[in-house]
Chains A and B, each alone.
Chain A
Amino acid sequence: NAGVTQTPKFRVLKTGQSMTLLCAQDMNHEYMYWYRQDPGMGLRLIHYSVGEGTTAKGEVPDGYNVSRLKKQNFLLGLESAAPSQTSVYFCASSSPGRGYNEQFFGPGTRLTVL
């Protein structure tokens, strides 16, 4: 099993450009999450999904959109990137019936917006 994978690993964007980050999991998990990690801020939840076709806002959703068209994939979109979105993005997944929502993380995507 690959677990949770993220594509791409690194990306540099110019202000105003758009991009999509892909998260995939092969553990048949119901729940999926997108976090951003900034120095001194810990992990902050951007959006999450509790099932295929459903999404919800987290703590810092502004400037991002998400889609969960397939159970195994969770996409994070930046429509018009801003320098404030420079961060490391982590995807995670979990199963509601396992370990009180123990989350499994992907390797992260380092995004720089110039």
Chain B
Amino acid sequence: ILNVEQSPQSLHVQEGDSTNFTCSFPSSNFYALHWYRWETAKSPEALFVMTLNGDEKKKGRISATLNTKEGYSYLYIKGSQPEDSATYLCASNTGTASKLTFGTGTRLQVTL
């Protein structure tokens, strides 16, 4: 994998559903993996940064895991709420600490 790839591109769930998205990134020369939350008409805000294989981070109902050997990360949202509606971006600074390569994001819409 040469680029950072995210799937699915978009997701529509109902309130209370749990959901997860995938981020794939180059596993060689790995440095760190970032997740950002990006609400419409706002700017991206950092959720997590993970560096170690097997890392798991949690913030409220949102959690993320990291597999650096195979080059993927999962973001989980438990019991989705309408306020979780946003685009979730992942980014990797594989190979160089000074730059991030972003995926195209997963757009989540949570309805009542």
Chain A residues contacting B32 (CB-CB under 8 Å) are: 100-101
Chain A residues contacting B89 (CB-CB under 8 Å) are: 42-43
A91's closest neighbor in chain B, by CB?
A: B43
Q: Tell which of B11-19, B56-64, B66-74, B94-102 binds the partner.
A: B94-102
A41, A45, A103: most-surrounded residue (chain B CB, <10 A): A103
User: Cβ of A100 and Cβ of B43 under 8 Å apart?
Assistant: no
With A100-B49, A100-B51 in contact, is A108–B43 under 8 Å at CB?
A: yes
**Among B42, B100, B104, B105, which residue has its beta carbon within 8 angstroms of that of A103?**
B100
A:30-46 near B, CB below 8 Å: 31, 33, 35, 40-45
With A42-B102, A42-B105, A43-B102 in contact, is A101–B97 under 8 Å at CB?
A: yes
User: Cβ of B43 and Cβ of A42 under 8 Å apart?
Assistant: no
Q: How far is the CB of B48 from chain A (nearest CB, A)?
A: 10
Q: How far is the CB of B69 from chain A (nearest CB, A)?
A: 18
B4's closest neighbor in chain A, by CB?
A: A42
With A42-B89, A107-B43, A108-B43 in contact, is A99–B99 under 8 Å at CB?
A: no
User: Cβ of A42 and Cβ of B103 under 8 Å apart?
Assistant: yes
Query: Is A63's CB within 8 Å of the partner chain B?
Result: no
The interface of chain A, by Cβ under 8 A from chain B, is 4, 31, 33, 35, 40-45, 48, 50, 58, 90, 96, 99-108
The interface of chain B, by Cβ under 8 A from chain A, is 31-32, 34, 42-46, 49, 51, 89, 91, 93, 97-105
25 A-B residue pairs with Cβ-Cβ distance under 8 Å, sorted by A, are A4-B43, A31-B98, A33-B99, A35-B102, A40-B104, A42-B102, A42-B103, A43-B44, A43-B89, A43-B102, A48-B99, A96-B97, A96-B98, A99-B46, A100-B31, A100-B51, A100-B97, A101-B32, A101-B97, A101-B100, A102-B46, A103-B34, A103-B44, A105-B43, A105-B44
| Other contacts beyond A96-B97, A99-B49, A104-B46: 4, CB < 8 A | A40-B104, A42-B104, A45-B99, A90-B44
